[in-house]
Structure 1
Amino acid sequence: MGRSIHHPVGLIHNSPSSTFNGYTLFSTNGGDHATLIDNYGRIVHRWNYSGGIVYAYLLPNGNLLARTKPPEDVDIVKGLGGSSASIVEMNWDSEVVWEYKDPMLHHDYIRLPNGNTVVLLFTALDEETSQQVKGGHPREDDPKTILGDVIREVDISGGIVNEWEIYKEMDFDEDVICPLEHRREWTHANSLNLTPNGDFLVSFRNTSTVGIISRETGEFLWKWGPGNVFHQHHPTFLENGNVLIFDNGSHSQGMDRSRVIEVNPATNEIEWQYTETPALAFYSFHISSSERLANGNTLICEGAFGRLFEITKNGKVVWEYINPFYSPDLRKGDPTNMVFRAHRYPPEHSSILDKDLDPDNYRNMNRLFGGETAKNQ
């Protein structure tokens, strides 16, 4: 949706009797901080890292696993969305306790129960393969080789445990780049999650595809999307077996608008969706996320405008917050409050159970950004 520069930021709305009680974690796309707020919009903790915190989530031990800003002077990934120089793990005091560096890192990562980490990486395809990739908007300066996607598992020392070359499982006739996108990348994987069986649930923006990839064979077990979703983000498995997806709706047939959907992978039927009226009131061209909460509500990140909001099953907005923290955009340098993804943690979550979450620790910042008055609304 469009946003006036005079639009209020911080907490916009809170219905305590209807919201899922907890703490929301987010970071500005291009900033150096991750911020944890309560349902009254009050800051209760912040992490900072000089290399940037583009996206982060909490581990069960209370540490923060974060993706940094892009690498410097690496031409092959320069200007590509989601590019990062490293994945860092920080303790509660923002001290780095683990780091994995690779200039081809991008978008998403998973910490496994055994302590290993799974990451997404770009990889340069050979010229013959690149020429077989269909679609995209050709330009005279297109590279002869384009980038594909790889999933890599690394151990605590950074050693490669396993690698899945996703691009080898793609189909040249089915997996076609959107005609309005460039040809520097083929699929542009933007999300990586685990299914209940431990396989990979992946989203490919450029081909508008969501798929499940077997960890054992590397083959697709399920593949869906083109013509149904458009440049989607953040698919996650739900307890009912459905997949929750933020459908950005970019370059869609007809009017661009976003929605959140539940698709049944057994039938490929959309069984639930959320839109706004008018439809244009809810639209994020890129990034963004949706997360089903324990009370059945859904936390939505309308990333392009830094809008975080919670809805009930019937679509009622019961909590709304607009990111008040601006940073230079990673590609153009303009001030932005964009948020890649957001997460909500209940008070009993192991990551924050014994932590000091007193908003008075950030009293001055809360006065600036509305947190002090929010508790009285």
Structure 2
Amino acid sequence: EEVENEDGDTIWASRLHHDWQREGSAIGYYAPNAAPMVDRGNTLILSHTNLVNSEITDKRLEDDVLFEVTWEGDITWTWRASDHVEEFGFSDAERNALHRSVQWNEARESADWLHINAASYIGPNRWYDDGDERFNPQNIIWSSREANIIAIIDRQGSVVWRMGPDYRTDPALRELGQIIGQHNPHIIPKGLPGAGNLLVFDNGGEAGYGTPNPAAPEGRGTVRRINSRVLEINPVTFEKVWEYTMTATERHRFFSHYVSNVQRLPNGNTMITEGADGRIFEITAESEIVWEYVNPFFGDDPDTHRIYRAHRVPYDWIPQVPQPVEQRVTPPDLSDFRIPPDAAN
């Protein structure tokens, strides 16, 4: 679309936000035989555009748009979220709340009604190999943080698969539990343990539209939870294959109500970015933490050490950097860990 740059000139540009994918890699992190193209190839871009759609709300929308663009800059495919609102599974109460109380952003003079925060290709997978067209490798999976929706769209733009917004409407989804404000849902690529399953960082916090209640008097942010989960889900049956979270009495110890992501590693472990606290850690299938990093860099604001997304990449993806000698890390014996009495000084 036409936008005004810092010099006041009108230029043709995309208002890219949150996500993009390069041809050759469905999700952008390492999988065998699936490296993103660094020369030529198409790019999937998640972007914004402003418009008015009175079927959604009378307010000016900050709508989410997907583009597929060639190396030369030609747009070959476009999808606009507001054109498909009838396919998102909203109830009458949810549509009513969306129309009345969608959150207005004064700075951007628009309402971010869906807040799509992730978009990636499905990629080669066993479901499509078995004849399930919903999982065509070229189809696209996206995530709406504001509405608690995860959906797959085909190349004609239709929603062919969906979870949410209300997880009470299906017995299998009820068993799974309400997903809230999620980030980075994707199909685990072929060649990695769990290939074909859906992996998602279920943030918790508050999100969703619906009937007003004492905690959400305007009908926005109607479902809430004060802990996060990482879920691996069979996308055909909605069965929960694996989960990482804290016990009921320690839920606060794993909670990022915004940002964050998750990656399946070749060794079967999972790398989790608990973004609000700037924490990245690797766990086994048994939830044992085997590697951990906490971002030590802060700016003037306490929130500035947060991390939106992190991926572990092979050394040969960064050929400019010499490959280091890897050394085994021995966890410290916490029984011997002491803080000096004058540590506060």
Mapping 1:102-181, distance limit 5 Å: 102=13, 104-113=15-24, 115-131=41-57, 144-171=59-86, 174-175=89-90, 176=94
The corresponding residue for 1:352 is 318
**Deviation (angstroms), 1:117:** 1.2
Q: CA deviation at 1:217?
A: 0.9
- What does residue 230 of structure 2 align with? 260
Q: Which residue of 2 aligns with 1:307?
A: 279
Could you tell me whether the CA contact under 8 Å between 1:181 and 1:206 is conserved in 2?
Answer: no
Deviations along 1:245-266, one digit per CA (max 9) or x if unpaired, are 0000112756411010012211
- Structure 1 alignment gaps of length 5 or more: 1-70, 75-99, 133-143, 360-371
Task: Describe the shift of the 1:270–1:167 C-alpha distance in structure 2 as closer, same or farther (beyond 3 A).
Answer: farther
**Contact 2:117–2:184 (Cα < 8 Å) also in 1:** yes
Question: Alpha-carbon deviation of 1:327?
Answer: 3.8
Paired residue secondary structure (1:336): helix
1:182 equivalent in structure 2: 103
Show the counterpart of 1:318: 290
> Aligned match of 2:151 in 211, 234, 247?
211
Distance 2:303 2:80 in 1: 36
Larger Rg: 1 or 2?
2
- 1:237 matches 2:237: no
- 1:61 corresponds to which residue? none
Structure 2 Cα separation of the partners of residues 376 and 270 of structure 1: 31
Q: Which residue of 2 aligns with 1:94?
A: none
Contact 1:130/1:145 (<8 A) preserved: no
2: CA distance, partners of 1:358 / 1:265:
39
**1:336 counterpart (294, 297, 304):** 304
Q: Secondary structure at the match of 2:76?
A: strand
How far, CA to CA, are the matches of 2:324 and 2:242 in structure 1? 38
Partners of 1:246 and 1:185 lie apart in 2 by 21
1:224 — aligned with what?
163
Is the alpha carbon distance of 1:172 and 1:276 closer, same or farther for their aligned partners in structure 2, counting shifts above 3 Å?
A: same
Structure 1 residue 204: Cα displacement = 0.8
Partner in structure 1 of residue 203 of structure 2: 248
- Check conservation: 1:111, 1:117, Cα contact below 8 A: yes
Shift, 1:296, TM fit: 0.8
Change (3 A) 1:265 1:172: closer
The residue matched to 2:317 in structure 1 has which SS? Answer: coil
Which structure carries more relative contact order (alpha carbon 8 Å, separation 6+)?
1
- Between the aligned partners of 1:119 and 1:104, the Cα distance in structure 2 is 9
Give SS of 1:296's match.
coil
Amino acid at match of 2:270: T
Contact 1:282 1:302 in 2 (8 A): yes
* Greater helix share, structure number: 2
1:346 Cα offset (Å): 3.3
Q: Percent identity?
A: 35
Shift in Å, 1:195: 0.7
- Counterpart of 2:143, as a letter, is S
Do the aligned partners of 1:258 and 1:275 also contact (CA within 8 Å) in 2? yes
Alpha carbons 1:166, 1:218 under 8 Å: kept? no
TM-score by length of 2: 0.65
* Closer/same/farther in 2, CA of residues 161 and 346 from structure 1, 3 Å limit: same
Query: Alignment length, in residue pairs?
Result: 253
Q: How far does residue 119 in structure 1 lie from its aligned partner after superposition?
A: 0.5
Q: Secondary structure at the match of 2:54?
A: helix
Shift of 1:269: 2.4
Question: How far is the alpha carbon of 1:73 from its aligned partner?
Answer: 11
Taking only aligned residues, the RMSD between alpha carbons, in angstroms, comes to 3.3
Structure 2 counterpart of 1:198: 138
Q: Describe the shift of the 1:376–1:249 C-alpha distance in structure 2 as closer, same or farther (beyond 3 A).
A: closer
CA distance in 2, matches of 1:149, 1:283: 27
Measure the CA separation in 2 of the matches of 1:355 and 1:326.
Answer: 25
Matched, 1:269 2:246: no
- Separation (CA, whole Å) in 2 of partners of 1:204 and 1:73: 33
| Distance 1:291-1:354 versus aligned 2 partners, 3 A rule | same
Q: Give distance in 2, aligned partners of 1:188 and 1:73.
A: 29
Task: Calculate the TM-score normalised by the size of structure 1.
Answer: 0.60
Which amino acid is the alignment partner of residue 341 of structure 1? R
What is the Cα deviation at residue 352 of structure 1? Answer: 3.1
Structure-1 residue corresponding to 2:33: none
Secondary structure, counterpart of 2:82 in structure 1? helix
Change (3 A) 1:210 1:255: closer
Contact 1:325–1:337 (Cα < 8 Å) also in 2? yes
Partner Cα separation in structure 2 for residue 269 and residue 376 of structure 1: 35
Q: Which amino acid aligns with 1:356?
A: P
Is 1:294 the counterpart of 2:294 in the alignment?
no
